[in-house]
């Protein structure tokens, strides 16, 4: 998995926000098991929450590997694509955990796209978020927890032609 430059991650998520960032290979299927904890390392109760995750295609330019990690500029893809929903499974309310599934079949990347050419250093970019919406409980108002997402999808030079 690539290491991203802190300034690049800040472009997407801001200074203090959580982010999941990674470099994926075209047609790679993977997942992240996530567990949410409070400041005392106690699992957050997910009872009554709504968890939604989506990404959208982005344009990456000036991709370079520096001594501080992968760095690039990110911008809007033209024409503007529709957001792509990601699957959330294995929700355990008591443990504060769930699984984010990465299945690029839904990402609308096809063989032959210029971003997937082995000589293209930029790759195909995606950014998005996981939104965990907590309901109002007693005197605690409803609130949302956002985890940002950032992925670069590249060719493995075997499948894409």
For the chain, what is the domain count? 1
Cβ count near 151 (within 10 Å): 21
Pairing of strands 97-103, 29-35: antiparallel
pLDDT tens for the 161 residues of the chain, in order: 456 656 666 666 665 778 888 888 888 888 999 999 988 999 999 999 999 999 998 888 888 777 777 778 888 998 898 898 999 999 999 999 999 998 877 666 666 677 777 777 777 888 999 999 999 989 989 999 999 998 888 777 665 54
Which pTM value belongs to this model?
Answer: 0.84
Is position 1 within any domain? no
Query: Rounded to the nearest 5 degrees, what angle is found at the Cα of 159, between the Cα atoms of 155 and 161?
Result: 80
Please say whether the beta carbons of 63 and 75 come within 8 A.
Answer: no
Q: For the domain that residue 30 is a member of, what is the CATH number?
A: 2.60.40
Is position 161 within any domain? no
Q: Which domain does 116 fall in, by range?
A: 6-154
Where does the chain show beta strands of DSSP type E? 18-25, 29-35, 50-66, 69-76, 84-92, 97-103, 124-134, 143-154
């Amino acid at each position: 998995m690539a290491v991203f430059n802190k300034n690049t991650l800040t472009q997407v998520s801001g200074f203090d926000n959580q982010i999941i960032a990674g470099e994926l290979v075209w047609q790679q299927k993977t997942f992240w098991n996530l567990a949410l904890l409070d400041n005392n390392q106690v699992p957050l109760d997910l009872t009554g929450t709504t968890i939604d995750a989506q990404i959208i295609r982005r344009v990456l330019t000036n991709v370079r590997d520096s001594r501080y990690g992968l760095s690039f500029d990110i911008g809007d893809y033209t024409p503007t694509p529709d957001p792509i929903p990601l699957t959330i499974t294995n929700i355990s309310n008591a443990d504060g955990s769930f699984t984010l599934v990465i299945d690029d079949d839904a990402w609308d990347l096809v063989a032959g796209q210029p971003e997937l050419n082995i000589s293209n250093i930029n790759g195909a970019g995606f950014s998005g978020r996981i939104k965990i919406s907590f309901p109002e409980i007693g005197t605690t108002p409803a609130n949302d927890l956002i985890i940002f997402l950032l992925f670069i999808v590249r060719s493995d030079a075997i499948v894409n032609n």
